[in-house]
Chain A
Amino acid sequence: MATTAVAAPSARVKAKQSKRFKIWIGFLFLLLIAGGYFIVERLVQGLPVTNLSSITPWGAWIAFYIFFVGLSAGSFLLSTLIYVFGMMEYERIGRMALFTAIVCMIVALTFVLMDLGRPERMLNAIIYWNVTSPLAWEVHFYLVYIALLTTELYIAMREDLVRLAGTASLKGKVAKWLTFKNSTITESTKKRDHKWMKILGTIGIPLAILGVHGGTGTIFAVVQARPSWNTGLFPVIFVVSAMVSGTALLLAMYIIKKKATKQKIDHGMVVSLAKMMVGFLFIDLGLQFYEYLVGVYGLEHHHLEGLGTMMGSAYSWSFWGVQMFLGAAIPIFLVFNKKTGTNVNALLTAAILIVIGIIGVRFNIVVPAQIVPLFEGLPAGDYFPTFNEWMVSVGIAAMGLLIYTFGEQLLPIEEIQSSEKTEG
């Protein structure tokens, strides 16, 4: 039984696990230090360490920023399936989804910070809020969203925190500190918590869809100067692809974690999550189809060139190779094929490929539109991230994984006793 394995793992398994854990942490720290060197280089030397220019002013960091915002919004929306719409079959990943959403936002904002020419002035976007700027709105939405996620996660964990507060472990100490005085679990607190989860989740849905991720799409969609961004469907595609990547990420994380800690995998949930993931992917592809169709049909010179750059230039490998082949064709095949469709490893591969595919999607959004010159006669852009840009990105991602890993050590992100849960 899974529960006994968690409650009393044999000493041998435990030692093996802690060794694995140490290797994992060590690995992440190494990446963080390596990335940290390049982050310092970037902060000291400024943006010349990148391949950005005045023609292509946004690059890899902006692509990663919208990627992580998407992951966050996607994970959060998945959590609302549980806490708002009562799909309890996914409850195992509920808090994981919330915590992932928080960490992804931290990562996303760090990417933005790296990208600013004057990071030390970042607060200006709050102090001198320009109400016509989608970017300024986003900064505000992100902060409210992070606050909401944190509150929701706290309430979701509260019962377990109270249970843990009695124990002497590190988790117990943190729990004691976090529960303050109201450390009781009664029927009424249960009801209250449940109610608040629902309320916060319900506020969160429009916030995540319209504010956080639709809004991030709006940053691009309002730019009339770049026709391939300037469509009404653009923010919608942002949200749907966020759902795709969020579901894929949680699926992958769930499987990897269960495998690493040698716990039993909820096979039914994995298969149904994979189906949902591909379902979102289909909607995403459908919307993209219309987006490109309408764009091409308009025969507008600039728009055609934007699409041409994405699908038929030196940059098209990212579209056909990463976005369409790795990120869509293979995963769809893996999920729908009879043999691989029920195989956990194959589904894990599909989920990871989809996440990678969405990275491609984000790059294809940001870069090609800035390659096409605004006027005939102006130079075309030419952009590929530098080594520094990649390493900074690796460093920030490692930071995110470290925060997640430590968070899981200190907080009851995973359910502790599933046997008790069923009673409640």
Chain B
Amino acid sequence: MLSNMLGSKNMTEKDWNNLLDTALPDVEKEMDASPFDTKLSFNMADDARKVINENLNIKDFHKKYHSKLLKEFGEEVGQDFASGADEPAQETDGVKWGMVIDLRKCVGCDTCTVSCKAENRTPPGISYNVVLEQEIGDFPNVAKVNLPRPCMQCEKPSCVQVCPTRATYKLKNGIVTIDNDRCIGCRYCIVACPYGARSFDFGESYEDEMPGYNDVTSPEYGIERGERKPGKTPIGTVRKCNFCLHRLERGEEPACVETCVGDARFFGDLNDPNSTVSKLSKSPRAFRLKSDLGNGPNVIYLK
């Protein structure tokens, strides 16, 4: 029969389903055989799917099943579930975005710089990311080293410390943002950033070389600003790399990570001990720029 099926292209969807049903154990029977409540398990599974699809709030889910679970599993398990209703553990252990850049893989092609400019539509004179090139050693033992430098999204950012208006601040996910609608353009943060990661938007434009440049401003921090016009925010305020927050929000990696030719950039959650970035950051090759300053960069390099 199997050979027959494989050979046959006439199998309908129903046939496939039947095959699956015979292969898989019957869930209802299995649950009945178990010491647990069949109906409860089915309902919970249904609602859990709703939670995943964001049709149901996780807190409501907890509320709904709290008492039933207490009855079913007794104090220990049930109580755990109840305290989970406030999710204290989840709040503190949310994501902390971090980046790891492998300097041995970086070929110094500046693709990151270019893709960043395209993604964030940064005006002339502003580059959120730059690749610093340097020759080290004495002839003939010389080497060229490249150092890509985005904003470090510092753990204790100097820029946030000095900003008089709290226009620049740290998000829970570790990204240092700028509220361009509040920034007064005093440029104290530029002076204070040890990594030279910030730029002032003087209002220049590529419109002459690139018609249409002014048509739209990049939706940084998820804010649509429309046309780029003289005197309109973010002109007159400070800008910098924000790990492409607008891309992260729709589940994409930062543009520089995605386009990196040498696959030198890794991106992920530093709070998750199993993420690639966490593991790489523990590598003996890992180091941080100007680590003596106490800024605690969340961009980690591998030497």
**Binary interface encoding of chain B residues 230-268 relative to chain A, with 1 for a CB under 8 A from any of its CBs, else 0:** 110001111000000000000000000000000000000
Chain A residues whose C-beta falls within 8 Å of the C-beta of B182 in the assembled complex: 121, 124, 128
Min C-beta distance of B89 to chain A, whole Å: 29
- Output the least CB separation between B137 and chain A (Å): 14
Which residues from chain A contact B202 at a C-beta distance below 8 Å? 46-48
* Residue of A127, A128, A224, A378 touching B196 (CB-CB under 8 A): A378
Chain A residues within an 8 Å CB radius of B186: 115-117, 125, 135
* B190 interface hit (Cβ, 8 Å): yes
B98 to chain A, nearest CB (A): 20
Please name all residues of chain A whose beta carbon is closer than 8 Å to the beta carbon of B203 when the two chains form the complex: 46, 48
| A62 → chain B closest CB, angstroms | 9
B residues within 8 A CB of A20?
none
A125 near B184 with CB under 8 A, answer yes
Scoring B residues 283 to 303 as 1 if CB is less than 8 Å from chain A, else 0, what string do you get? 000000000010000000000
> Given A132-B162, A376-B132, A377-B133, are A55 and B237 also a contact pair (CB < 8 Å)?
no
Chain A 97-135 interface residues, beta-carbon cutoff 8 Å to B: 115-119, 121-122, 124-125, 127-130, 132-135
Determine whether the beta carbon of A54 is less than 8 Å from that of B200.
yes
Quick check: is A225 within 8 A (CB to CB) of the other chain? yes
- List, in ascending order, chain B residues with CB within 8 A of A226's CB: 191
**Which bucket holds chain A's interface residue count?**
35 or more
Cβ–Cβ contact A133 & B164, under 8 A: yes
- Near B by CB (< 8 A), chain A positions 351-389 give 370, 373-378
Q: Is B82 an interface residue (CB 8 A)?
A: no
A130 touches B196 (CB 8 A): no
| B131 smallest CB distance to A (angstroms) | 9
Least CB separation from B294: chain A residue: A224
In this complex, what residue of A is CB-closest to B289?
Answer: A375
Most buried by A among B149, B187, B194: B187
Given A377-B133, A378-B132, A378-B196: A225 touches B184 (CB 8 Å cut-off): no
Q: Which of B158, B164, B193 contacts A135 (CB 8 A)?
A: B164
Residues of A close to B147: CB separation below 8 A: 375, 377
What sequence of 0s and 1s flags, for each residue 42-53 of chain A, a beta carbon within 8 Å of any chain B beta carbon? Answer: 000011100011
Asked if B42 CB lies within 8 Å of chain A CBs, one says: no
B163 contacts A225, CB within 8 Å? no
Q: How many residues of B contact A (CB 8 A)?
A: 45
B155 to chain A, nearest CB (A): 15
A377 touches B166 (CB 8 A): no
Residues of A within 8 A of B192 (CB): 222-225
Contact between A374 and B196, CB atoms less than 8 A apart: yes
Given that A116-B185, A118-B184, A121-B184 are contacting pairs, would A53 and B165 also be in contact in the complex, using a CB cutoff of 8 Å?
no
Q: Which of A52, A128, A129, A376 gathers most chain B CB within 10 Å?
A: A128
In the bound complex, do residue B167 and residue A225 qualify as a contact, i.e. CB atoms below 8 Å apart? no
Q: Are B188 and A133 within 8 A (Cβ)?
A: yes
Taking a contact as CB atoms closer than 8 A, the residue among B132, B133, B158, B238 that contacts A225 in the complex is B158
Known contacts A47-B200, A54-B198: does B183 contact A375 (CB below 8 Å)?
no
How many angstroms between the C-alpha atoms of A116 and B125 in the bound complex? 19
Q: Does B221 contact A (CB under 8 A)?
A: no
Chain B residues with Cβ under 8 A from A127's Cβ?
165
Residue of A nearest to B162 (CB): A133
Decide if B130 touches A48 in the complex (CB within 8 Å). no
* Nearest CB in chain B: distance from A117 CB, A: 2
Q: Is the CB of A224 within 8 A of B194?
A: yes
Q: Are A122 and B162 closer than 8 Å at their CB atoms?
A: no
Does B204 reach chain A (CB closer than 8 Å)? yes
A144 proximity list for chain B (CB < 8 A): none
Counting CB contacts under 8 A, is A139 at the interface? Answer: yes
Q: B185, B186, B192, B199: which has the most chain A beta carbons within 10 Å?
A: B186
The A128-152 residues at the B interface (CB cut-off 8 A) are 128-130, 132-136, 139
B134 within 8 A of A: yes
Asked if B126 CB lies within 8 Å of chain A CBs, one says yes
Q: Are A58 and B187 interface neighbours, CB within 8 A?
A: yes
Question: Which of A47, A118, A225 interacts with B183 by CB under 8 Å?
Answer: A118
| Beta-carbon contact of A118 and B185 below 8 Å | yes
B85-128 residues at the A interface, CB under 8 angstroms:
125-126
Task: Give Cα A127–Cα B183 distance, bound, in whole angstroms.
Answer: 12
A223 with B162: CB separation less than 8 A: yes
The reply to whether A139 and B164 contact each other, CB–CB distance below 8 Å, is yes
| CB of B161 within 8 Å of the partner chain | yes
Taking each of A58, A129, A225, which has the highest tally of chain B beta carbons within 10 Å of its own beta carbon?
A225
Decide if A57 touches B167 in the complex (CB within 8 Å). Answer: no
Q: Tell me which residues from 159 to 178 in chain B have a Cβ below 8 Å from any Cβ of chain A.
A: 160-167
Contact A57 B132 (CB under 8 A): no
Q: Check if A210 is an interface residue, CB within 8 A of chain B.
A: no
- Shortest Cβ distance from residue A120 to the other chain B in the assembled complex, whole angstroms: 9
- In the assembled complex, A276 has its CB within 8 A of some CB on chain B: no
The complex places the Cα of A55 from the Cα of B200 at a distance, in Å, of: 9
Contact between B236 and A47, CB atoms less than 8 A apart: yes
**Which residues of A (25-72) have their CB < 8 Å from a CB of B?**
46-48, 52-55, 57-58
By a CB distance below 8 angstroms, the chain B residues around A139 are 164
Which of B165, B231, B237 makes the CB contact (< 8 A) with A128? B165
For residue A133, which residue of chain B has the nearest CB? B164
Contacts of A134 in B (CB 8 A): 162
B188 touches A53 (CB 8 A): no
In order of increasing CB-CB distance, the 6 nearest A-B pairs are A117-B185, A377-B132, A136-B164, A225-B194, A57-B187, A117-B236
20 A-B pairs in the complex with CB atoms less than 8 angstroms apart: A46-B231, A48-B204, A54-B200, A58-B191, A117-B187, A117-B201, A118-B237, A121-B165, A122-B184, A125-B164, A128-B165, A128-B182, A133-B164, A223-B191, A224-B158, A225-B158, A374-B194, A374-B195, A377-B132, A378-B196
Q: A128-B166, A129-B166, A225-B193 are in contact. List 7 more A-B contacts (CB 8 A).
A: A47-B185, A47-B202, A116-B186, A118-B237, A133-B161, A135-B162, A370-B191
Residues of A within 8 A of B (CB): 46-48, 52-55, 57-58, 115-119, 121-122, 124-125, 127-130, 132-136, 139, 219, 222-226, 370, 373-378
